[in-house]
Each structure stands twice: as C-alpha cells, then as structure tokens.
A and B are shown apart, each in its own frame.
Chain A
Amino acid sequence: MNNAIAPVIAELDQTIIGKSAQNRLAVCCLLSHGHLLIEDLPGMGKTTLSHALATLFGLDYARIQFTSDLLPADMLGANIFDVQKQQFTFHPGPIFSQVVLADEINRASPKTQSALLEAMEEQQVSLDGQTHELPEPFFVIATQNPLHQAGTYPLPESQLDRFLMRITLGYPDWQAEKQMLQNDNDEPLKSMITAQQLSDWQGQIETIHVADAVLEYILRLVSFSRESGEYANPLSPRASRAILRASKAWAWMENRDYVIPEDVQHVFAAVAEHRLRSPGSDSDLSFQLSESLLAAVDPIAA
C-alpha cells in the first residue's frame, strides 16, 4: 500500500466498518478522475461514505437530494435579476462543489438526470449562453436505489456508462455491525490531505507505466465481451479506457509504478459490471457477468 494513501484508507475503514474493498475502490475512482455510482438499499452507508471521502480529501461538498420534481435549475443554479445592479447575475447551484453527492439519482426525472450527466461529462455548465466552469477536482458520487423499488426512473445504458465505477455496499457482517454499534461516536472527521496533494497524486498516476501485455489483456477482455455473444451490452471503447485509468490508479495505490494484470482484475468488476448488465434485465446481483468474463480470458499473453 502506498504510504501516502494508506492513512486515508485506514481512516475511511474506521468510518465505514468492514467495507474495505469498497472503500479502496471508491478512493481509486476518485484518484482516476472518475465518477462513482453506489447502488444499494437505503441506510447502507452510501451517504456516509461519500461524505467521509469529501471530508478526508479536504474537498468542499454538496448534497443534492433527487426527487421526481427536482428541476435542472435547482441543481445547476439560475440567472436571477439583480434589482440593484439592473442586470442578471448567476446564482450557482449546489453542483458547483468539488464533491457532489447526487442522492437517489434514479428518483429524478430523466431531464434532470441528463443535466447532471452532462455536467459530469463536460466539467462545465452552460446556462443562457454562458459557460460556467465547474471546480477542479470535480467528483460526483451518485447513489441509486435498486430498480425494483417504487418511483424510480432507471438510468439508461448510455448514462450509466458515464460513471467510472459502480459499487454496492451490501449488509455489513456480524462483527462489523457490532463494532459500528459499539463506537457510535459523533466525532467529526478531519481533513487529511489537500486538494493540491490530490492533484499531485493524480499527476503521478498519469505517469504509471502500462506494458503492452496489460493493454492487450484489456483488449482481450473487451473483445471477448463483443465476440462471445453472451453479453447483451458488450464493452465500449470508453469502457476499455475506464478500465485502464482505474487499473493505473490501483497500481499507484499498490505502490507500484507499473500495472500488472491483477490491477485490472481488481477494478474490473466495479468498472465493467454496470456496463455489461442491461438495466432492464432483472438485476440479479448474485451472478456477476464481469466475473464470468474474467474467468474466460487469460491475463498472460495467449
């Protein structure tokens, strides 16, 4: 584990107990400039995780609770006429934060969903012909209720694709939940690193070496998903780029300056599962499409 990131993850593990793998993936996602989608039942710690991430990385944080009547302007902000200055001034919405928690994103109407997704993709907001840059780093954590719950508009495939990773938290095990109940302290988290440090780390990740063998492994994975005919939604080129970015961040977290196939395997399920699975299908999460894909492709050059 990289000495720089280890304390952050240790602190995160103290907050979200017993979810070490998910914590690491969430950090990895933040480090690789990606947006994170957390899908789970209410009360599983989605909000806690995103809040803890924002605080630990010293980022400013806003939370948008998505409802079916939320309008794009509520989120992006609006031009409001200033009577004193006799002109329109822009009042930025909650989206102008470094970490945005889009809570229960699938309860909002598709119009609002796409406004958020557009901002995520463009890193900017256009309103009445004016372009407003979003802050750097810009990190969206969206949470999503399982699709079978009432009052949800499922995100279409094209928009799911915008999230680098999707993770699920799941119920904690007996020990973890007991521990959580025992030290139920409300001691607030303190920021451990600065935005500058985060940016430096992201710069280091850019320089991680990726050998041809790893690139070809990723290519074999995606092309297998396209050619085998077993996957309804084969992986797109955007997906292969996402896998590469996340693998590099993972390698950095493992304190290596090169990527090995294990890095790809560690991030693969989080990066690929929501892209492979069609949202209309029954979301039987016990069967992981990405695992079957990993089991079919040999990481060593064929």
Chain B
Amino acid sequence: MIVATTKPQSAIDIEQSITPFIMALAYIALVFTMLTPVLSWITVLAVCVVIVRGSFYFRDQQPQIALRTVNLLAILAAITLGWFSLSLGLLLTMVNLLVMACAFKLLRITRRKDLTQLFASLLFLTGCGFIFEQGLLHTSIYVSITLVLLCSLITIHAPHMSKRGAIKYTGIQLLQAMPIAVLLFLVLPKLPPLWQMPTAQGAKTGLSDTVTPGDIAELSQSSELAFRAIFSTELPRNNQRYWRAMTLEQFDGKTWTRSPTRRQITRQYRQLGRSFTPVYEGEFWDYQVIAEPSHQTWLFALDVASPSANSEFGVNLGFEYQVYASRPVVSTMSYTVESYYNMSLDQTLQTVDSRVNLQIPSNGNPKTVEWVAGLVAQTDGPSDFIDAIQRYFLEQEFSYTLRPQPMPKNPVDEFLFNQQAGFCVHYASALAYALRLANIPARLVTGYQGGEIQSDAVISVYQYDAHAWVEAWLDDRGWVRIDPTAWVSPDRIDFGLEQAMREEGSFLADSPLSLARLKNIAAFNQLRLWFANLDYQWSKWVLGFNNQQQKDILRQIFGELTTAKLSVIGLSLVALIALLLGLYILPMMRNRSLNPLANEYRKSVELVEASFAIKRATLGPEDFLQRVADSADNASTAVFAQITEAYIKSEYQPSPAQFEGIKQLQQLRRLLRKTLKKNR
C-alpha cells in the first residue's frame, strides 16, 4: 500500500520535480518509435520540448513558460497541422495532433492535474503506437514505456519511494494484471477492425508495381521480413520456390507496368461475376502464408495457386495466376494456399493473353530489334530462339551484379550490347522484350525467389529475396517460366542471393547493421535464427490469434460450441474477474475511515440525509443537528439529537470511552432507523 504524500507542492516544485522529466523521456521514446507516421516538424518540436524539460530539471530557477506563449504556439501548430491534414488523412492527422498536444502539455506543468492528464494522453499514445507496429520488438518497447510511465505516476504520489522500489512495485502490479489480460485476450470475442488504415506505405521497401531497370543504379536491399510460409506438406526445393506477386504485362521500352488492357478485362469479368477457376490436378504443396503488412493488395504464392478464403479478407486468384487480397494488407495477415506444382499454366484464354503480351513499344532500342530479327531468321521456332538467346548470354560473359551502371537511354540495347552486367530485372526485362519482338507472348513476373528455411516446416522470405523472371507462352505448354538470371548466375537460384554476391560483397551493403550480414559467424547466425523464430511464434500465436483459433482453443476446453455458450463463457469470465477484483478492492473502499466512531456517525447521517433530502456537506455535528431539526419531525430529531450528543461526547470531549461510544451509536442508529420508518 502506498501512502500518499502530504508534502505541499508549489507550481515551481512540480515544474522541477523528476516526474515531468521521466514523462518527457517516455514521450520522446514513443515519438521515435513512430517516426514514419509522425510528421518531421512535429518530431523536431517533440525533441525541442524534451530539451526544454531537461533544462527545467537539471538547472534550477528557470522562468516558467507563460500560458499565453504555449497557447499561441499551440494554435499556430494546429493551423499548420490542419494544412498538412489535407494530404495526411484522418487517422494520421489525429495521431499527429495527439503527439503535438502532448508536446505542448509538457511545456507547462504547474499542477498535479497536468501530470495526470499528460499521463493519460501518453498512455493513449502508446496504444496508438500499436496501430503502426505490432512486432515483438515494438511490443517490448511499448511495454517498457508503459512501465516507465507507471513509475512516473508513483513519483508523483509517493516521492519518498526509491526508484528501484517504484520499478519493483509497478512491475509486480503489471505481473498481477498479466493473467487477467491473458484470460480476456483468450476469451473476449475478436472484433473486426473499426477502421481501415487510409495510408500507403508502398514506397518503403519490397516490390512496387512498376519496374524500370535502367534507372536503378543500385538495388536497395532490406533484411525486413516479407512473409513466412508454413508447410504442412514437404518443402519445395530452393529452385522451385518462385513466389509470384505480380505479373507485369506492359512495356514502354523502359518501364514494365500492369497492363491497362488487362485491368479492363479483369474489370469486365468482375462485372459479369466471373472469376478465374482453373481445374486443379496433380500433386500439391499445402501451406499457410503469414504476410507482413505491405499496404498493397498483392499476396504471395507458388504456381499454380489455389487460395482458400480467409475469414477477414477475400483472397482471390487473378487471370495472371497471381493471388491478391480484396483489401490492402495493413496488418499481419494469414491465408492458406494449395500449390499444384506439376500443372501447366495453360487454362487462360490464349487469344487474350497473346494480345496483351505481344505489345511492344513503337520505337527505341533499335539494336535489339535488329539483333532479334537476325536471330529469328537463323532459328527455328520459339524453343530454338530461346536457346539461342541463352547461348548469347553465356557466350558474351554476362555477369550478375547488384551495382549496375544506370542506363537511362535505350536500356535494353545498353544492357545487351554494352554493359552486359545487371541484376534479375535487367535480364528478365531484356529477355521478355526480345521474346515479344520474336512474336512470342512474354511477360515479366516479379515476386520473391528462395527464402530461408526457418525450421522443418517454415520458410521465411525477406525483402532481399525479391526477384523478377519471365514467362513465355509456348503453344503446347501454356505459360512457361524462364529465368535468365539462372543462366547467368545459377548460384542465385540454387543457393540464394548471398552466395551469388559473395565475390562482389554487395549483399546487404546498404544495411551494415543487419544481422543477416553476419550469417557467416555461427553464433550470430544462431542468434538471428533464434530471434526470427521468436518473432515468428509471436506473429503466429499473438498477432495471428483470430476468431478461428480462439474457437479452436475454446472447443478444446469446453467441447462443442454454440454462440450462446460462447457468450456465456465470455460473460462469466468477465464477471469472475470483476468479482475477484471487487473482493480485493471493495474492502479498501468501504473502509474509507480509520476512525470507526466517525464512520458510525456518518452512517446515521446518511440515513437522515436520505429520509429528509438534506445534505450535511461540511457542516459540523451541532450545526447539522440544527439543520435536521429544521426539516425533520420531532421524534426523529430527538433520536438524532441523542446520536449527535453521543458522538460529540465520544469524539470531542475529554477522556472518551471510544468503544462504548461506538456501541451506543450503533444502538441509536437502530432506533433511528425504526423511528424513521414509523414516521414515513
């Protein structure tokens, strides 16, 4: 039990006490975890405010900041934010507003009330943090921040407590709250999200829906997780793991994009209510994919995918064999796929696919056009043509590099005849273009290739596994995957990017601190795998805990479930928790007085107050008796006079016999109750 202090605290005391400083530190930590959603000028504001707070704490006799100044600044900042809000959207504006408001609150803290308000706002802000990040790392950061905030609350109410004591006390309380939180997490129904995140974050890493090989001087690499796949059948080999994300069918000589014709066709099909339903046959891999938020609709699957519906999202198969979600993936999402790996991709309309995929830009890359024309004349049929190109790539000593030269003009010519070095996109783009020139329908597929085997059944795919390859329509076989990168750099496909880049040393050169770079050191690799595994377990069991899993768990415990049974379980558990907490807290609330005598008197007062609709407020006992006499009947007044007399006698007169006083008051209260009833 903490005994609240009675130490007087003036405004200056509160300004310079440690509490606002601790809160400021927690605040800045919070802001730094939310650098992406928070506007940069608000971040700067937050840093400045924390510095001001620090100067209040470390240097005495600072003049207070006038309320008027703070208000003026706040109004100006709010107007600025209002201007930015047009492009930010509602949710981000509100988060930014909250961060800003906390900053201004921190500038001037003169009363305890300010501190408690700030505490509540910061707690809310911590909750907002989970909108953007739910990973294990961020969760532990947010839990620590909450711990710090609670400790700061202790420093307000019990400044005499040592810091270690405060941390221990809050820690124990948090641990006590844990079982309740776990129970509620398991039992309470999982509601669907109340709002949709209106933000797009596609610019950050990973794939994008346009590919311009010539403009990329250096492929940005990131060791962030893209998705995980958990297999219930055997694992595919590394060179089978081509995770399709997007199929790009429009080429303008430089850039590959999704084909507008294809979009139009898809839209027409959707209006007709027709979806692509190939006939599946043969062996398949069965696996669950847990995708990290990409803020895009595309998903990842091996060919030929047969996605099954997810309870929250619709997961569909497009006519380009790509899997996509009905809404952007804004939080970790899981879906199940069966991939029939022996099937041919020949179930779409050839006429449509050929029309879309024979499109070529009207000019540019003249050397390539000439070269392909020559090659077509020399060769016999599509397969022969492809072999001829493969021979060309191998004979000309093309090399695989992550640091190609930029090729802004006629990129295919430049790549094929001058540079002869590039990464997957260069090869895929050049090949697809060449195939189209030779009147073979071809398209660019982007996605991920490979992935790291986490444990027996789990493959983790990271952003640096991003890859691009080519599909060509061969009349007898349908769409056939051709990966020119594999011709040039077989290591890339068989062992992954890291092996392929060993000599160049450019693997994850952008992120020197990434643990993935230290794979060669056994201990680090172990650590990295262990952490990845932990993160996987977290996203599987905590973030991915949805209605279905909840039902499964409850079914294991309680047997077959009906809606009624579910709600009874939920309600009774909540009631049980409330009851236990009530049993713990109520005695403390009831025992509001350390003085049993005053308590007895108070009970009688409450009786009288209820009967005659009067309030004692802060009247003393004699004055209140006068008050009662004014409004009550004589009999009740007489009894209450006795009560008042007995109370005054025991409480205020010399050498009172307290115990007897309580007895007497109890008897008189019974009498009072009777009298009141009789006179009702």
Q: How many A-B residue pairs have CB under 8 A?
A: 66
Which A residue's beta carbon lies closest to that of B14?
Answer: A229
Query: Are the CB atoms of A294 and B618 closer together than 8 Å?
Result: yes
Cα A76 to Cα B6 in complex, Å, equals: 43
Query: Are the CB atoms of A301 and B621 closer together than 8 Å?
Result: no
Which A residue's beta carbon lies closest to that of B111?
Answer: A229
Proximity string of chain A (190-216) to chain B, C-beta cutoff 8 Å, 1 when within and 0 when not: 000000000000000000010101100
A177 sits at the interface (CB 8 A): no
Partner of B617, one of A213, A214, A259, A295: A295
Query: Are the CB atoms of A229 and B620 closer together than 8 Å?
Result: no
With an 8 Å Cβ cutoff, the count of chain B residues facing the other chain is: 29
Cα A262 to Cα B110 in complex, Å, equals: 34
Query: Are the CB atoms of A258 and B620 closer together than 8 Å?
Result: no
A297 sits at the interface (CB 8 A): yes
Cα A24 to Cα B676 in complex, Å, equals: 38
Residues of A within 8 A of B595 (CB): 213, 301
Query: Are the CB atoms of A257 and B654 closer together than 8 Å?
Result: yes
Query: Are the CB atoms of B621 and A295 closer together than 8 Å?
Result: no
Query: Are the CB atoms of A229 and B654 closer together than 8 Å?
Result: no
B680 sits at the interface (CB 8 A): no
B367 sits at the interface (CB 8 A): no
Residues of B within 8 A of A214 (CB): 652
Residues of A222-261 whose CB lies within 8 A of B: 223, 226-227, 229, 234, 257-261
Proximity string of chain A (278-302) to chain B, C-beta cutoff 8 Å, 1 when within and 0 when not: 0000000000000000111111111
Proximity string of chain B (585-627) to chain A, C-beta cutoff 8 Å, 1 when within and 0 when not: 0000000111101100110010000000000011111110000
Partner of A211, one of B592, B602, B651: B651
Query: Are the CB atoms of B8 and A226 closer together than 8 Å?
Result: yes
A229-B111, A229-B112 given as contacts; is B593 within 8 A of A299 (CB)?
no
Query: Are the CB atoms of A300 and B602 closer together than 8 Å?
Result: yes
Q: Closest Cβ of chain A: how far from B369's Cβ, in Å? A: 83
A265 sits at the interface (CB 8 A): yes
Partner of A262, one of B6, B594, B620: B620
Residues of B within 8 A of A295 (CB): 617-618
Residues of B within 8 A of A259 (CB): 652
Query: Are the CB atoms of A234 and B8 closer together than 8 Å?
Result: yes
A213-B598, A214-B652 given as contacts; is B8 within 8 A of A223 (CB)?
yes
A262-B623, A295-B618, A302-B593 given as contacts; is B653 within 8 A of A209 (CB)?
yes
A229-B11, A301-B595 given as contacts; is B622 within 8 A of A209 (CB)?
no
Residues of A54-75 whose CB lies within 8 A of B: none
Query: Are the CB atoms of B621 and A300 closer together than 8 Å?
Result: yes
B648 sits at the interface (CB 8 A): yes
Cα A295 to Cα B621 in complex, Å, equals: 15
A-B contact pairs, 19 of them (CB 8 A): A209-B652, A211-B651, A227-B8, A229-B11, A229-B110, A229-B111, A229-B112, A258-B652, A258-B654, A260-B620, A260-B648, A262-B621, A265-B620, A296-B618, A299-B620, A300-B621, A301-B594, A302-B592, A302-B593
For the complex of A and B, the 7 pairs showing the least CB-CB separation, nearest first, are: A226-B8, A261-B620, A301-B598, A301-B595, A262-B620, A209-B654, A211-B652
Known A258-B654, A259-B652, A260-B648; 19 more pairs at CB < 8 Å? A209-B654, A211-B651, A213-B651, A213-B652, A223-B6, A227-B8, A227-B9, A229-B9, A229-B110, A229-B111, A257-B654, A261-B620, A262-B620, A264-B620, A265-B620, A265-B623, A294-B618, A301-B595, A302-B592
User: Which B residues are closer than 8 A to A by beta carbons?
Assistant: 6, 8-9, 11, 110-112, 592-595, 597-598, 601-602, 605, 617-623, 648, 651-654, 656
